[in-house]
Amino acid sequence: MARMKFLCDAERCIECNACVTACKQEHEIPWGVNRRRVVTLNDGVPGERSISVACMHCSDAPCMAVCPVDCFYKTEEGVVLHDKDLCIGCGYCFYACPFGAPQFPQTGAFGVRGKMDKCTFCAGGPEADRSDAEFQKYGRNRLAEGKLPACAEMCSTKALLGGDGEVIANIYRDRVTHRGKGGEVWGWATAYKVPGGAGATQQPGGAAPTPAPGAAPATGGTKS
């Protein structure tokens, strides 16, 4: 088993928020905490794209690096988890995370912050697997049941894929090959707007975008 990863196919996501709902229902997440959310780019503009975002279980997770009490750990499957008994709710991980994954329940008046809560890839936490303590602190442990995250398995259009990184990359590659497009939605050329590349647009002010070093000159960066 390699590394557990999420992959959201922006060509398929219809912004239905079923992944958000499935996550909240599966783990009985309190009001105000969203382990997963759907982000729409260019909302209302023709060609808008939506992606479902949660903890990406980074290979080199910045939250792990900045945590002052070292409450984060990574499982053998590459899932980034944390010990809530150790967390002091300082919020450093929130500032460090590029995806805004760490969430803090408002436990009282005056903005008092609780312990950090985030996507666990439905892998629970450092409590006995499938115990009440694990469910109350971290939610359901679907991986221990041989299941994948509820958000990915619930996704009606299968835009959100979850599982072993190699497996879901192959599924995505197969999909792009079948439909003949979509590989250009993500990748270097799209992210950095390489001239002539997929997703290339003129920057405000008419300045020509600068190609990134090592970027492919004219094609999308993702596999297809």
Partner 1 sequence: MNGLRTVVLAFAAAGVAMSVAGCGERPQVINYKQGKYQGKPDTPAFNSPPFNGNKQQWENEIDDRAQKQNEYVRLRD
Closest CB to partner 1 among residues 149, 221: 149
Asked if 10 interacts with partner 1 (CB under 8 A), we say no
Residue-wise burial string across 51-73, b where 16 or more C-beta atoms lie within 10 A, e elsewhere = bbbbbbbbeebebbeebeeebbe
Question: Could you give the C-alpha distances from 51 to 28, 44, 108, 153, 190, in angstroms and in order?
Answer: 23, 15, 32, 16, 15
Residues 110-129, one symbol each (x = binds partner 1 by CB under 8 A, - = not), give: -------------xxxxxxx
Q: Which stretch binds partner 1 (CB under 8 A): 44-52, 60-68, 182-190, 199-207?
A: 60-68
Asked if 223 interacts with partner 1 (CB under 8 A), we say no
Closest CA to 106 of 91, 127, 125, 85: 91
Closest CB to partner 1 among residues 79, 198: 79
Closest CB to partner 1 among residues 170, 210: 170
Looking at residues 146 to 175 of the shown chain, list those that interact with partner 1 (rule: CB under 8 A): 146-148, 152-153, 158, 161-164, 167-168, 171, 174-175
The one-letter code for the residue type at 196 is G
Asked if 195 interacts with partner 1 (CB under 8 A), we say no
Asked if 77 interacts with partner 1 (CB under 8 A), we say yes
Asked if 208 interacts with partner 1 (CB under 8 A), we say no
Tokens representing residue 26 in the block: 């599966």
Residue holding tokens 């903890």? 55
Asked if 145 interacts with partner 1 (CB under 8 A), we say yes
HSE (side-chain half, CA atoms, 13 Å) at 138: 26
Q: Could you tell me if 130 and 87 are in contact, meaning their C-beta atoms sit under 8 angstroms apart? A: no
Q: Could you tell me if 72 and 63 are in contact, meaning their C-beta atoms sit under 8 angstroms apart? A: yes
Where does this chain bind partner 1 (CB under 8 A)?
1, 62, 64-67, 69-73, 75-77, 81-83, 85-86, 123-130, 141, 143-148, 152-153, 158, 161-164, 167-168, 171, 174-175, 178
